[in-house]
Amino acid sequence: MSILIYAESAEGKFKKVAFELASYAKKIAESLGTTVTAITINAGDVSELSNYGVDKVLKVNNDKLSAFTAKAYADAIKQAAQKENAQVIVLSSTTDSLYLAPLVSVALDAGFASNVVGLPVNISPFQVKRTAFSNKAFNTTEISTAIKVLSISKNSYGIFENASSLTQEDFNPSIDDADFGVKVVSVEKASGKVTIADADIVVSAGRGLKGPENWGMKNWQPFLELQQLVQNLFLI
Amino acid sequence: MKILVCISHVPDTTSKINFANGDTEFDTNGVQFVINPNDEFGLTRAIWFQEQQGATVTVVNVGGPETEPTLRKALAIGANEAIRINANPTDGFFVAKQLAEVIKNGGYDLIIAGKESLDYNGGMVPGMVAGLLGYNFLNSCVSLTVEGTSATASREIDGGKETVSTSLPLIIGGQKGLVEEKDLRIPNMRGIMTARTKVLTILEPVAASSETKAIKFEKPAPRSAVKLVSADNLDELISLLHNEAKVI
């Protein structure tokens, strides 16, 4: 039995949330006396995960999975969970992970809690705290199934270094052609600009302004110059 | 094209949120309920399909008799008929099982649900229904067109947008973008009167277990007052950010 995380990557590099999931899973694994396994899909160097407590990586390298396909990715995660006999599957709250989480949940007959904001309140019965009512409240949810799927709210736990000795294994899940009923035609994404999910610093001037061009300032150019200089700065 | 729009009956977004019975359940006293906003975007898109492509639109909800006014509002907006599954929606999986049964028996081509409801914010029902039925599924959907049995849609992704092609039967988790807020329909008097005579079928639930249970609620700690710092007192600003907020 282990804790399984899906360590998301983009263009071969891990997203920040992958390290947060690893940190979170390591803490649960310690309390359960077990290990953390990560499944990666077309990621590059996976050794970085060992800095955050991951003990084993199942590396999937498959050209058919070069574009995100929720059903196929969920299928791969399901097979990884079964291989590792994982009882807790930890996912992030990126749009991709929120897309595939319910599919993983149904495939594994696992109860699913989204928007989780902390370590389990209790292990047996398994209870987690999550946000509800559009962040106007918290809710403690009990998951009664043997396998649990959690999606962790971004930046709710944090990233903590915890070195581990990592083993790597190539993993080739069988992917069904029926998983590709939704085909990606095109992607529009601002290149060279950090997303709010991956930003370390967020500068906001109020709700709904979208960017410095709407901040009501005569000259907002210095902020754009600052964005060029400071890595992982997001202006909204 | 037969469209099923899944409707959640949720507190108005301006409602004050309180809890009852030792913080174990939502206190509905004095709360106005509405169609879940994400569902309303989907409903309006479905009505466009009805008007432009001759689709029929059925709305469905899992809930007790108290949810019927919300379904009648959807009928007043233009849905052809409504189904209420007579059960307390105990968790997302239970709701998904009920909806999957209705979809299987009704032969729907397109199922539109909000990507999440604004009460429990589970964000799981459309995906679970797709998982149970094996249908094509697109979440966070912000645009959708259908030609015959082919569909082209866009979904929001982190930092951008992705366009996909797929085919019916299709389940989408929709949101703002399917239509804009200005496109939402307010029922007119004729619609309200017509809705009274439209068919609202009540179905008993199928046997299904719940996998999760909300056992306790709490409200966040109240926010502290905003501290205003004079624009010419940068030393104080830096001191507050460093010593109090501890962000620099």
C-alpha distance from B132 to closest chain A C-alpha (Å): 7
Cβ within 8 Å of B, A 69-98:
70-71, 74, 94-96, 98
Q: Which residue has the higher pLDDT, A212 or B109?
A: B109
Mean pLDDT of B225-240: 80
So what's the pLDDT on residue A193?
66
Domains of chain A: 2-173 (3.40.50.620), 196-235 (no CATH)
Contact assignment for B131 to A114 by CB distance below 8 Å: no
> 3-state DSSP: chain A helix, strand, coil percent, rounded to 5?
30, 30, 40
Say how far apart CA A169 and CA B24 lie, in whole Å. Answer: 45
Closest Cα in chain B, distance from residue A141 (Å): 4
Q: Is A192 on the interface with B (CB under 8 A)?
A: no
As a whole number, mean pLDDT of residues B159-184 equals 95
CB pairs under 8 A between A and B: 173
| Chain B contact present for A161, CB below 8 A | no
Residue B232 lies in a domain: no
In a domain, B248, yes or no: no
For residue B90 the two structure tokens come to: 């105990």
> In the structure encoding, which two tokens stand for residue A218, read together?
């005569």
The predicted structure's pLDDT at residue A198: 67
Number of domains in chain B: 1
Residue B206 lies in a domain: yes
Percent of chain B with pLDDT over 70: 99
- pLDDT class for A191, splitting at 50, 70, 90? low
Q: Is the peptide bond before B65 cis (omega within 30 degrees of 0)?
A: no
pLDDT value of residue A54: 97
Closest-CA distance, A220 to chain B, in angstroms, reads 17
The upper half-sphere exposure of residue B119, i.e. CA atoms within 13 Å in the direction of its Cβ, equals: 24
pTM over 0.80: yes
Nearest CB among B130, B163, B215 relative to A103 is that of B130
Shortest CA gap B80–chain A (Å): 29
Higher pLDDT, B234 or A58: A58
- B-chain CB neighbours of A105 within 8 Å are 93, 124, 127-128, 131
**Chain B partners within 8 Å of A99 (Cβ):** 127, 139-140, 155, 173
* Mean pLDDT across B215-238: 84
pLDDT score, position B80:
97
Candidates B68, B181, B170; CA nearest to B110 is B170
CB atoms within 10 A of CB B190: 9
Cβ-count burial A204-228 (b if 16+ within 10 Å, e if not): ebeeeeeebeebeeeebeebeeebe
Residue B127 in domain: yes
pLDDT recorded at residue B59 = 98
Domain span at residue B70?
2-216
B117 within domain boundaries: yes
Q: Which of A106, A186, A197 sits opposite B158 (nearest CB)?
A: A197
- CA-CA distance, A78 to A75, in Å (whole number)? 5
- Chain A from 22 to 61: CB within 8 A of any B CB: none
Residue B52 in domain = yes
Please report the pLDDT score of residue A236 as a whole number.
72
Q: What is the pLDDT of residue A214?
A: 77
Residue type, A226: L
Instruction: Give the CA angle between residues A94, B173, B183 to the nearest 5°.
Output: 115
> Residues A121-177: pLDDT tens digits?
999 999 999 999 998 999 999 999 999 999 999 889 999 999 999 999 999 999 999
| Candidate from A95, A103, A111 with C-beta closest to B131 | A103
In-domain check, residue B238: no
Mutation to test the B interface, candidates A103, A117, A176, A193, most B Cβ within 10 Å = A103
Closest listed residue to residue B45, CA positions, set B103, B95, B4 = B4
Task: List pLDDT tens digits, range A56-89.
Answer: 999 999 999 999 999 999 999 999 999 999 999 9
Chain A residues in contact with B131 (beta carbon < 8 A): 74, 102-103, 105-107
